[in-house]
Structure 1
Amino acid sequence: MSRDVLVRATDETMDHFLYRDGQLHAEDVPIARIAAEVGTPFYCYSTATLTRHFKLFDAALAGMDHLVCFAMKSLSNVAVLKLLGDLGAGMDVVSGGEYARARAAGIPGDRIVFSGVGKTREEMRHALEHGIRQFNVESEPEIDLLNRVATELGTVAPIAIRVNPDVDAATHEKIATGRKQDKFGIPIDRAREVYAHAASCEGLRVVGIDVHIGSQLTALAPFEAAYGKIAELTRTLRDDGHEISRLDLGGGLGIPYSRGNDIPPQPAEYGELIRRTVGDLGCEIEIEPGRLISGNAGILVASVLYLKKGYDRDFVILDAAMNDLIRPAMYGAHHDLVPIEEPAPGTEAEPHDIVGPVCESGDTFAKARPVPPLRPDDLVAFRSAGAYAAVMSSEYNSRPLVPEVLVSGDQFAVIRRRPTFDEMIARDIVPEWL
């Protein structure tokens, strides 16, 4: 077994996608077996990895009153949500559709936190009617609308107000959320004023403070800066007469997308930071991890279609495309690419551009990526594709959404099937006058 496989099998962000007898397995199932039955491309998730990563966060806060709410925007398949919910997870949702998925997975309303900057009246009403732990509200107009909806229903909506601490998370521009120029939350220097307004609303009950500074953080210092500000704000708001009993500290802890990169902090270290910064406040702690629970729990499996000689480069053309995994095109993100059949020791890798069949030059997964010799019909896998991958896929170029597969031990099941062309076309409606 190679060194990198041993590392993946022992560190705290490990996955369960390992080579055995020269073939990549998901837990105890050969990937080639799934490909033969399901066809490519497809996503494959590991139950053991999802379970382990959730339990790492839960253990990190042991001894504190807490709830680990999975950020289901990272991976929202109902089967995965049920798996995590059965382990005791709550859910952090950002749309009515995500709320419906959480309830379909059996998650009770008192374990669902509703976040997001653009909640609609209908979403608010539905959540209030069917159960909600709290709304994380992000603006004064949202406070006023939620108050009206709750009052019309004759109920009281529990809220935490999201404050923007103006902390740079030192992450990608498109996933930073805690700087003063970002669209999220109330400026922290206006928090007292906004909390006073919320407390005056008869349809609202202020229960806490919410903060989230970004995604894919690889250091603890930004968390420490933000949580220090939240601790100070908690004391100030309590002095103002507010009952702050709950702190939603968001998520954002990153994962290693490439072998050889620095390993981000582990959940245990993150938990110790929480204890150090806000642990003396007597508040219930909520966290909203997504990527670190699901990211390394999934892979995208594809087949090689063609090997193409270009003007100044060689191409590997896959049957997976940017509509299946958009992160490289959208963020310039890196995903390790590995063959399903383990290369022999000493095999030389040659640089290739890894591309898909979509008619866009942006449909490129990697440029000049060293890969071992490949042939048409060979299977390959993009690692760390469990988060912000299947959930961001589309039917661009009228390509069907690819299946999702869940593995547990030596068994697997399709948890989202590939639609047929007829099913895709049937959603279109031709008006009678055409």
Structure 2
Amino acid sequence: MDHFLYRDGRLHAEEVPVSDIAAEVGTPFYVYSTATLTRHFRLFDEALEGVDHLVCYAMKAASNQAILKTLAGLGAGMDVVSGGEYARARAAGVPGDRIVFSGVGKTRDEMRMALEGGIRQFNVESEPEMRALDEVARGLGVRAPITVRVNPDVDAKTHAKIATGKSENKFGIPISRAREVYAQAARLEGLEVVGIDVHIGSQITELEPYRQAYEKVADLTRVLRADGHDIRRLDLGGGLGIPYERSNSAPPLPVEYGRLVRETLGDLGCEIEIEPGRLIAGNAGILVSRVIYVKSGEGRDFLILDAAMNDLIRPAMYDAWHDIVPVIEPAPGQEPRPYDVVGPVCETGDTFAKGRMMPELAEGDLVAFRSAGAYGAVMASEYNTRPLIPEVLVHEHQFAVIRARPSFDDMINRDTIPEWL
């Protein structure tokens, strides 16, 4: 469920007509709903009610500070994967003891930043990283709290580019080597083992892969405790999918996921951490664009929009589907027609949809890409010297620009011309 609905023939973001935002901000732009962000966070938090837990929002999904501050105010922790994300979380007021640092390539500078600023734990992904973190921690005279990310070799049945839990993926250590690696960690004076980390992928639409992974984690917890390790925290990752195509069946609900966590891990007495990103932010945002031209081609018609692949790269990168709807509600009985929906970038890959059945549209009409709140603005670029587009946050009847569109001068003046030129 989201809070982008038609009222009196116009698409609204909560109580604000989307066309009113377009008139003030210009197109294209992203707009997020506070009510949807809040609802989706609470669904996860309530799903684990009665279990000692922390919901750490995966910032890589959407990292604007206004979004982070909204979720932190609800009690969310943060899952970060870079020094920049760590700095963003702290700038948004998130205390260090609610920040989990993930990622396969943490640098010594990033480790030092987090240890000095405060960190809940590092999810360590390799033995070289473990040794580097030990070195940095000892240099600072502290002990770094860690979990070790284990790779359970489970097929998450998701897109190959976002699967992370199979043996051929770059993430974590093989679960078969976990005892050996934990024994190494215990011998390093700068590290404090606090738990186990596992994450099998993103946009997962069934529970069985989670069950397989969590049953392996439960077995590993018992083995490591028998070896003398104080396993008191289980970081289960995120990855629960959302319905990008409204006509498809919905993925499992957070309450069903929570039930599975209790069934597989509930008897271990561990604190549970989860790291949802897409399910919190995905349906909380839309991308709004304007039709520049309607072009007739050989056997097909093109909707040429002012949004492009640099603004929303998911279709070009993942062949991802986004429902695309007109901002003005179609008249009842209007027959849809097929369009190839494209942007103005000079790449054939700048195509959002082919043969998409849509109401007849004309130059100047507004359209909205649904479920664009996750991995939209954060993956955008300035390719073709196109400005990063604004982000807008709506709260009931109010809206505010939370990232402004830079001018061409802003972009060009970031360049530095060498003195010999």
| TM-score for the superposition, normalised by structure 1 | 0.97
Q: For 1:259 and 1:69, how far apart are their aligned partners in 2?
A: 27
Query: What corresponds to 2:269 in structure 1?
Result: 282
1:259 CA displacement: 1.4
Q: For 1:260 and 1:382, how far apart are their aligned partners in 2?
A: 15
1:137 and 2:124 equivalent?
yes
Mark the runs of 5 or more structure 1 residues left unpaired by the alignment.
1-13
Q: How does 1:250-399 map to 2 (within 5 A)?
A: 250-399=237-386
Query: What corresponds to 1:27 in structure 2?
Result: 14
1:61 and 2:55 equivalent?
no
Query: What corresponds to 2:236 in structure 1?
Result: 249
State the SS of the aligned residue for 1:305. Answer: strand
Query: What corresponds to 1:192 in structure 2?
Result: 179
Q: How does 1:162-177 map to 2 (within 5 A)?
A: 162-177=149-164
State the SS of the aligned residue for 2:204. Answer: coil
Q: For 2:171 and 2:50, how far apart are their aligned partners in 1?
A: 31
Query: What corresponds to 2:205 in structure 1?
Result: 218
Q: For 1:313 and 1:206, how far apart are their aligned partners in 2?
A: 60
RMSD: 0.3
Q: For 2:55 and 2:192, how far apart are their aligned partners in 1?
A: 22
Q: For 1:343 and 1:35, how far apart are their aligned partners in 2?
A: 19
1:198 CA displacement: 0.3
User: Match for 2:36: what amino acid?
Assistant: T
Q: How does 1:54-203 map to 2 (within 5 A)?
A: 54-203=41-190
1:214 CA displacement: 0.2
User: Match for 1:267: what amino acid?
Assistant: P
Q: For 1:377 and 1:209, how far apart are their aligned partners in 2?
A: 53
Query: What corresponds to 1:425 in structure 2?
Result: 412
Q: For 1:108 and 1:172, how far apart are their aligned partners in 2?
A: 34
Quote the sequence identity (%).
Answer: 75
After superposition, what is the alpha-carbon deviation per residue over 1:191-239, rounded to whole angstroms, capped at 9, x for unaligned?
Answer: 0000000010000000000000000000000000000000000000000
Mark the runs of 5 or more structure 2 residues left unpaired by the alignment.
none
After superposition, what is the alpha-carbon deviation per residue over 1:27-48, rounded to whole angstroms, capped at 9, x for unaligned?
Answer: 0000000000000000000000
State the SS of the aligned residue for 2:259. Answer: helix
State the SS of the aligned residue for 2:219. Answer: helix
1:313 CA displacement: 1.1
1:16 CA displacement: 0.1
Stretches of 4+ aligned residues off by more than 3 angstroms: none
Q: For 1:127 and 1:252, how far apart are their aligned partners in 2?
A: 25
State the SS of the aligned residue for 2:231. Answer: coil
After superposition, what is the alpha-carbon deviation per residue over 1:73-108, rounded to whole angstroms, capped at 9, x for unaligned?
Answer: 000000000000000000000000000000010000
1:415 and 2:402 equivalent?
yes
State the SS of the aligned residue for 2:45. Answer: helix
Q: For 2:20 and 2:301, how far apart are their aligned partners in 1?
A: 29
1:227 and 2:243 equivalent?
no
1:312 CA displacement: 2.2
1:383 CA displacement: 0.1
1:118 CA displacement: 0.1
Q: How many equivalent pairs are there?
A: 421
Of 402, 405, 417, 2:392 maps to 405
Q: For 1:140 and 1:39, how far apart are their aligned partners in 2?
A: 49
User: Match for 1:46: what amino acid?
Assistant: S
After superposition, what is the alpha-carbon deviation per residue over 1:54-75, rounded to whole angstroms, capped at 9, x for unaligned?
Answer: 0000000001110000000000
Q: For 2:269 and 2:135, how far apart are their aligned partners in 1?
A: 31
| TM-score for the superposition, normalised by structure 2 | 1.00
State the SS of the aligned residue for 2:61. Answer: coil
1:52 and 2:39 equivalent?
yes
Q: For 1:320 and 1:98, how far apart are their aligned partners in 2?
A: 26
State the SS of the aligned residue for 1:232. Answer: helix
